[in-house]
Structure 1
Amino acid sequence: MQYSVGVEYALHCLVYLIDAPSEESVGIKDLAEFQGLSETFLSKVFGKLSKAGIVSSIPGVKGGYKLAKSPEDISFWDVVEAVEGPKPIFQCKNIKDNGYLYREGCCSAPSFCTINLVMLEAEEKMRNYLRGQTLAWLNEELERTLPKQIREDTRKYFRKSNI
């Protein structure tokens, strides 16, 4: 199981949007430059975040993106689902139905695949955990763990880019 790097970039960029004043937005160019990646790639990620209602797109020369909801209302799972889509990680192919006993007609009673049930339960536990981790929590955690100068420099970078 692996999430794309788009999830990581999305979470980092969304944290940068938390401190943006509500009447301002942050441009995709600035977000991409700060992260060291292509604008095209980040635009695709932000298109998905916008479609999911996590960010709002502001048109115009000074346009960009801002959070569409409060950081308390945006969970890690919201971001994962927006970027990766709703498809389950485990894709049961019902291979048991092709097994020897089913082919020979010895076992015809319908049954649930125990493997699928376990995998779906594990995914649900992971989703629930990620639903409990919000952007607000991440912001507080970064405030607590990162050197204050890094946080200040980050905020200055995005304020400067909007002037």
Structure 2
Amino acid sequence: MKLSEGVEAAIHCATLLAQLEEGRTMPASALAEYHGLSPSYLLKHLKTLTAARILESVSGPHGGYRLARSADAITLLDVVLAIEGPQPAFRCAEIRQRGPGALEPEVYAAPCNINAAMLRAEQAYRAELRKTRLSDVISDYLGEADPRALAFSCAFVARNQRPQG
């Protein structure tokens, strides 16, 4: 299964925004700079996360983005579904009913076993993402990260967060 780069960007941006002080925001340009991404590319994903109520967009001179709810209340599945959509990764096109060996449609009344297996795998994958909160990812990172990376991240957030409007 391959997820888009947008999922990675969305999760990283959300974890960075979780570091903001209460009521503060960070501009999209700073998020793009921090992650080495094109601002226009990232803005598309930030708008999607805002529409999904994962992020909140604040307009005005002190505007920017912040989490719409606590990092404890956002799961990785929330982010993946916001960026990728709710459709399963595997979509059975019933190719077993095509080609020279295809029989009458009633022969294929039973569900496709391949589709069933793929959907079970998708359910397991989504269950894991559903139980993993953004706060879990942050906590794991804080316990394992190089202190230099933590120091840089904290300093970047402190420099780039905007005051309450």
Q: TM-score, normalised by structure 1?
A: 0.92
Aligned partner letter, 1:19: Q
Within 1, Cα distance between the matches of 2:147 and 2:133? 21
Residues 69-88 of structure 1: pairs in structure 2 closer than 5 A: 69-88=69-88
Aligned partner letter, 1:102: L
Residues 1-163 of structure 1: pairs in structure 2 closer than 5 A: 1-98=1-98, 100=101, 102-103=103-104, 108=107, 110-162=109-161
Q: Are the equivalent residues in 2 in contact too, given 1:16–1:155 (CA < 8 A)?
A: no
Q: Are the equivalent residues in 1 in contact too, given 2:13–2:31 (CA < 8 A)?
A: yes
Higher relative contact order (CA 8 A, sep 6+): 2
Within 2, Cα distance between the matches of 1:95 and 1:37? 39
> Deviation of residue 149 (structure 1)?
2.9
Counterparts in 2 of 1:101 and 1:12: CA distance versus 1, 3 Å: closer
- RMSD over aligned CA atoms reads 1.6
Return 5+ residue gaps in structure 1 as ranges: none
Aligned partner letter, 2:103: Y
Within 1, Cα distance between the matches of 2:137 and 2:41? 23
Within 1, Cα distance between the matches of 2:54 and 2:108? 46
> Deviation of residue 109 (structure 1)?
6.4
Counting aligned pairs with the same residue, the percent is 32
SS of the equivalent of 1:102 reads coil
Aligned length in residues: 161
Q: Are the equivalent residues in 2 in contact too, given 1:56–1:65 (CA < 8 A)?
A: yes
